[in-house]
Every structure is written in structure tokens, then in C-alpha cells.
A and B are shown apart, each in its own frame.
Chain A
Amino acid sequence: MWDILKNRWKQGYRTVDFPSKVEMPERFRLSTANDGEPQLVKALDARMQKLFGRSLKLRVVSAGSCNGCEMELQALGNVVFDLSRFGIQFVASPRHADGIVVTGPVTKNMALALKETYDAVGEPKIVIAVGTCAINGGCFAGSGEVLNGAASTVPVNLYIPGCPPHPLIILNGLLRLLDRK
């Protein structure tokens, strides 16, 4: 066993650096009134940043997602993306959390549980909607069984698009929200 570990150690593997700039292909760029970089995310105000800027604990509520978004959120915790180096962590209880992350289009069957989890988080709190489904229902929009997005049930501070969003995109969104990028 030690030989194997030693071997691995020698070869080494690094946590990825956060890419400083990713060029978006032209057709994906947002048009903006001024020519500068489009403002994708509005950072939290000074008070919230003081509170959460260096330590943010989040509780994930999956509300009808296909498990794709969950897997990318889980992947954020692995050695490659290592979310906790930014002081952001996913916690086991809404009582320990500063906010919630919602995935999925919010099914009718999950609306109550989502609302109650949100209520259980102490004020002030933030809500982050991850994935196309949580934005507007995604491919499930219009089904009689879903409520077409997280905003149907809780007030959302940040939307992170993608189906599912790459872990780096989620990370990007979170860091911009905390104005650390």
C-alpha cells in the first residue's frame, strides 16, 4: 500500500488554479449597453460581504433535479476543485447554513420541503439557483408537476446557468457573488 501511495505522491497531482480569464465564444456573449465586460453577477452588498465573504456555509436542496447538478456540486468538494480553500462549504443542516443552493425545477412534491428548509436558515441569508432547471424549469418547464424554477418558491440572489454547470462555472459564480474574483 505504501509503495502505491509513494508512487502517486511522486507523480503528484495538483488542485486546479482558478482560470484568470476564460474567453467565451462570440455567440455566447451577452450584449451590454456599455462595451465593457458584461456584468454577469451583482456582488453582495458590503454588509453581507463582511458577514459571508470569508466563510460561507451552504445547504443544498435538490428539488426535482436529475442528479446532474448535484454531481457537479459534489465534484466541487473533490481534490481537484477543492471548494473549501475559498472558505465555502456545504453543510448538513440548514441551521448551520448561511444560505441554500437550489437545483431542479422545483417539483410540486418538493415545494414545501424547499420552503421549510429556507425558513430554517437564519437571517440574513442567500439563495443560489444552480442549473437551467432551477432558473426556469429547463427542459421540464410547462409540465403540470413542476413550478418552473427556484424563484417560484424562494427569493433568488444568484443564478448559475448550465445543464449541468461545470464545477468551475459554479465556483466562478460563487466567487463573483462574494466579490472575490
Chain B
Amino acid sequence: MTFPFLTIQNAVSFEASRVPILPAEAWRQTLLENCAEGKARITALFGETMTPDVTRVYCLLGIDSKKHLLIGAADFFGKNPAYASITPLLPEAHLFERELYEEFGILPVDHPWLKPVRKQENHSFYKIEGEGIHEVAVGPVHAGIIEPGHFRFQCHGEKVLHLEIQLGYQRRGVEALMIAADSKQQAVLAESVAGDTVIGHGLAYCHAMEGLSERSITPKRCQSLRAIALELERVSNHIGDLGALAGDVGFLPAAAWFGRLRGDFLNMLMELTGNRYGRSFVMPGGVLFDITPEMLRSFIRRLEKALTEVKELAELFFGASSVLTRLGQTGVIKQETARSLGAVGLAARASNLLRDVRQNYPAGIYRAHNIALVKMSTGDVYARARLRSLESKRSLQFLRERLEDLSADKIAQPCGMSKKGAMIVSLIEGWRGEIAHVVATGAEGEIRRYKIVDPSFHNWMALSLAMRNGQISDFPLVNKSFNLSYAGHDL
């Protein structure tokens, strides 16, 4: 016997009391049944302390084919509650269950690898023993200018048998800070979840706040401007990543050129928002700056030119056989693996899984205007690289359309007070993939729980598996092809 979860829409608030609270076992069964055969996938799984000895665990499922989400919860009582782990049946839950155990002490019995997610203690790494097996430990401080994380390889010669990734060094406690902060600080904090996804996380926060407010209309022009910023962010990051990949395979002309081209997009963001990454541009109710007619004309002209450059560059980069040899068949993630890990965003689309919030759960301007999506089927570094250039082209075309049909309108409309006892799920397709912010308000309309799931949280395991049986020397390349966020994972 199953109990239905509540059906909800992206960025539309609902009364928190409508979320069905099931007995733990029934909750687990419903979750598993919904996810059977890949019908639904876990978007978020998180707890909230209700009273000192009641912890409520929410499960948020996304049903991509039906364009809606399901939410259901279960209460766990006492000091050390336990339930039968979901992970053995549904691997995509593995990190969420570890997080629940770390933060709330809810024990998933028979979890295959129950160790801390972010705490720096009890680190035991998976070890392979035998003749000629050696271990390579890297980090947290790396050779390049990147964020900290620890990587432990089990190798036989050059071949990687297993890679375990231990993160948590970037733990800043963002979720707790969001509750304590006032609304101005909240916007800054949301943008600082991952500094490369400023617009993505900022927008997820804004959609949540607007949906929660009692009165909120976002003007059309503002929605377009937000989409423009979001797509500029996507293109700049995709192009930057291609540059990094080119650098890693030693193809320096392309690396230099990609690096410069990225700067062009960042400069456009800077002209529009005053900051190269668009900080403080989006705010609940609207955006901070408008686009001037001269800027508009110059953007359209420059984007046109950039589109030609992206095409030429792709030709240069993907036309070089030495590049293709390095990228092809390296770091493969098959479709089945990607599905079972619950991969999202670009990493999923490179493995033939069309998961994209802009299409599956559209919000803002994406409700009215579709963006053409692309996917690849090989799941290797080549697919992820190629997809970056293809998506950049689509985004540039979309950007031009949005710039050309900007409606005359206000750019901001203050929102009202927050609804009391409400909840909202706000999903945004950032350049890495699905960003989820789930917010619950209390009796006074204050924020009671703020949960953030960065796309990297879903995808880190895919990087581990992509390295299996690969060469350790390919790690930088495979890592760049995913380019996951440490800060977004650690929060």
C-alpha cells in the first residue's frame, strides 16, 4: 500500500501543512516505488529539526517526463533513529543519506559507505591490496589555482582501480547563515554558494523569495534581463572550461583564444551588472540595472561576432586529431551509470540523458520561450567538451532573440511580505546543471529552513566512476570535463 506524495510545481509555493507526513517505512516504500525504473529521481533529500527530538525528513522527487515534482516527508523520533538505507536499491541517494546521518544522526542501516560528507574526522579510505597496488593521495591543496579537496587513488601502475573523493574543506555553513541573515545579506550569501554560478544561485534564491511573497509580479523585461545574465554566465563558463581543456591537452592556441573569448562575455556581464560575475544584479522582485539602448545594440553586434568565433574555435579545437585522440573514449560514463547516480545537467546530457530544468521545469522567461537543447551519447570527455561548445551556440542564439524582443517594462517590482507556514522549491538550470533551493517559512513568515542542493552534489560520484580503469595521467582532463564545484558541494 502506498501513500501519495504531494504534487508541486517549480517556483510555486504551497502550504507546508499540505506535505504528507508518512510513517518512516511507508515513506521509504513510496519513495522507492516512485523512483522505480527511473520514473522519478531524487532532487533533494534533507532533514529539518522540528523539536529537539523530532526530525522531519523531506524527500523531493523530480518527474522529468511529467514536468512536476513530488514531495513527501517522514518524522523520525528520539536520539538515534534508524531506517533501512535506500542506497542499495537507489544509488543516487548515497550522498544524501550520508549527509542526513552527519547532520541529524539518522542512521541508514546497511548503507554501503557511511562516512562523513564534510566533517574532517573518521576518514577511512577504501583500500585495495595486492602486489603492485599503490595509493596516490592528492590535496587538499592542489597544484593549480583551484578549490581544496582530497583525492585518493588506488592504482596498479598507471591504471586507476578506484578513486575516492573526500570534500568538506570549503564548509562555510551557508544554510545556517541564510536563516540568521537579513534579506540583503541572504542575496549575497546565495550568490556566494558558488562564485562561478552567481546568477544561477542568485536567481534560485530570488524565485524562491518571489514565490513565497504574498504579492509578486515579476515584470517581463526583468525576466528577460535575468535570462540574459544566466545565459551569459553559462557561455562564459563553458568557454572557459573549453580553454582549460585545451590547456590540459597542450593545445595552446585554442587555450589562449578560448581564455580571451571568455573575457568578452564576462565584460558584457560587467557592463550590464557592474561586476564580471554579475554579483548583486538579480534581487527579489527584479534586477538592479537596466540595459541601455546603446548597450543593447553593441551586445547584439558583439554576440554576433562571438558566435562566429565560437564556431571557428570549435572547428579549430575539434578539428585537431591530436585533441580528439586525447578526448575520445576518456572518462566514459554510460547512460545507465549516469541514471543510477542521478547525474544532472551537462554531465547527464553528455551521457544521453536529457535533463534540463529549462525544459522540464521551466520558470521565468523559459516558460514562454523554449531554448533548443542538445545532448550527446558517448559520455566521454569529448562529449562533455563538444556539448559545451554546442550549448554555447544555442545560448548565444537564445541571447540574441531575447535582446531583440525586449519589452518595454519596469525592471523591478518590490515583493510583499513572505507567506506564513509556506514552502517552495526553486529550481534553476545553472551552467553545471540543476540548482535546487528549498525554503520553508515559519509562523511569522521568517525562514525556518533553507536547503541548497548544488548540481555538483549529484555529480561528484560520476567523476569517481569516470576514472575507473582509466589512466591516472588523464585525471586532470576528466576532472576539467566535469568541472564540479567544491564550494557548492560543501556549502
Contact = CB atoms under 8 A, between A and B. Distances in A.
Contacts of B256: 78-79
Nearest to A106: B172
Interface in A100-115: 104-105, 107-110, 113
Q: Which of A105, A138, A145 lies at the interface centre, i.e. has the most chain B CB atoms within 10 A of its CB?
A: A145
B195 interface: yes
Given A60-B145, A117-B141, A67 B194 contact: yes
Interface string B226-266: 00000000000000100100000000010011011001000
Interface string B53-93: 00000000000000000000000000000000000000000
A145 B172 contact: yes
Interface in B124-169: 140-141, 143-148, 168-169
Contacts of B221: none
B: interface residue count bin: 35 or more
A74 B195 CA distance: 14
B247 to A, nearest CB: 10
B316 A65 contact: no
Contacts of B29: none
B141 A113 contact: yes
A22 interface: no
A161 B311 CA distance: 37
B39 interface: no
A92 interface: yes
A107 B171 contact: yes
B169 A110 contact: yes
B192 A146 contact: no
Nearest to B146: A70
Contacts of A7: 312
Nearest to A76: B145
Given A109-B169, A143-B172, A66 B141 contact: no
18 contacts: A4-B312, A4-B315, A4-B316, A13-B260, A62-B145, A62-B147, A65-B487, A69-B195, A71-B240, A71-B277, A73-B145, A75-B263, A80-B263, A93-B143, A113-B148, A138-B192, A140-B172, A140-B192
Given A4-B312, A78-B263, A139-B188, 8 more contacts: A4-B313, A5-B316, A61-B148, A62-B170, A68-B198, A69-B195, A71-B240, A113-B148
> Which 7 pairs between the two chains have the least Cβ-Cβ distance?
A68-B195, A66-B195, A92-B143, A78-B259, A145-B173, A143-B173, A67-B195
